[in-house]
Chain A
């Protein structure tokens, strides 16, 4: 019996060491991954920003296509405008710090503000007329 007890303890100790080793290996892998990520230096590449901007653009497009509520469609438009601004600023930064792209992004912001105000006024009117803000219900002028 005592022998068996000792065996099981040794087994446990072995198991503990094995788990510990795997734990260590996991940490090692993680640290390696972080070092790898830093070595890539994604924040210093133009493509990173272009990809982020493309994802934002696609998400905004999806919101515009699938949402029924007009305010949600407007949110999709805002996402797309943000993506465009991000693209402009990224190109301006990677083109030797040329400020022209930033000026364009500034104009995009101005246009977004004007567009949001007018679009919300239109949806407000639509809601008053038809008690709904859904864009496919806006068919009053359809003969």
Chain B
């Protein structure tokens, strides 16, 4: 069972990065939009491996249910739809590769170069899901703690975020409304 957990972890990592590559490099924009689904689900699975159950659920709900739907609507509304085969152009592909590769090399070098002494590898693998796991003390449900944190330490950012969402809602409606031109 232990081996299975590791193998499934690698599968999820491969799904995340593979579909992110499709998002970036595929020629048809609708394929990119649907490949984003795999990335979001993969990141949700990684959240589960990191014992963040509430975040994994909200990742699926908000990203897949909200943002991805919005993006697909955006794709269809900003193209003359004749078929699903909407090509998109890219530019500066090879010029862009250079700084991206440099930055990537720098990041990987920094991650491996830093001595994460305060943050050692976990002795026990993170156990997720199931009453038995909770009873065994492997993982704790995080929703309660997060809710408490949002209403105590993060109360001001929480209220500001609600104002931001309201403003974004009204602003997006105002922007996307159809105006008949007067002139």
Interface residues of A (CB under 8 A from B): 34-35, 37-38, 41-52, 54-63, 65-72, 74-76, 78-79, 82, 85-86, 89-95, 97, 99-100, 102-103, 105-107, 109-118, 120-128, 133-134, 136
Contacts and interface: CB of A to CB of B under 8 A. Distances in A.
Contact of A68 (B62, B91, B165): B91
Nearest to B144: A99
Chain B CB within 10 A, most for which of A76, A82, A86: A82
B81 interface: no
Nearest to B111: A50
A47 B23 contact: no
Given A58-B107, A68-B91, A133 B70 contact: no
Contacts of A128: 178
Interface residues of B, number: 88
B52 A105 contact: yes
Contacts of B23: 59, 63, 75-76, 79
A61 B50 contact: no
Contacts of B168: 113-115, 117-118
Q: Is the interface of A mostly helix, strand, loop or mixed?
A: helix
A63 B71 CA distance: 15
Given A75-B33, A78-B63, 10 more contacts: A41-B6, A52-B46, A67-B88, A78-B71, A93-B52, A100-B153, A109-B63, A116-B66, A117-B70, A121-B175
A85 B16 CA distance: 14
A52 B13 contact: yes
A52 B107 contact: no
B149 A100 contact: yes
Interface string B93-106: 10011011001100
17 contacts: A34-B7, A38-B3, A43-B6, A59-B20, A67-B88, A68-B88, A72-B88, A78-B67, A78-B71, A79-B20, A79-B23, A89-B52, A90-B50, A105-B55, A107-B157, A115-B168, A124-B77
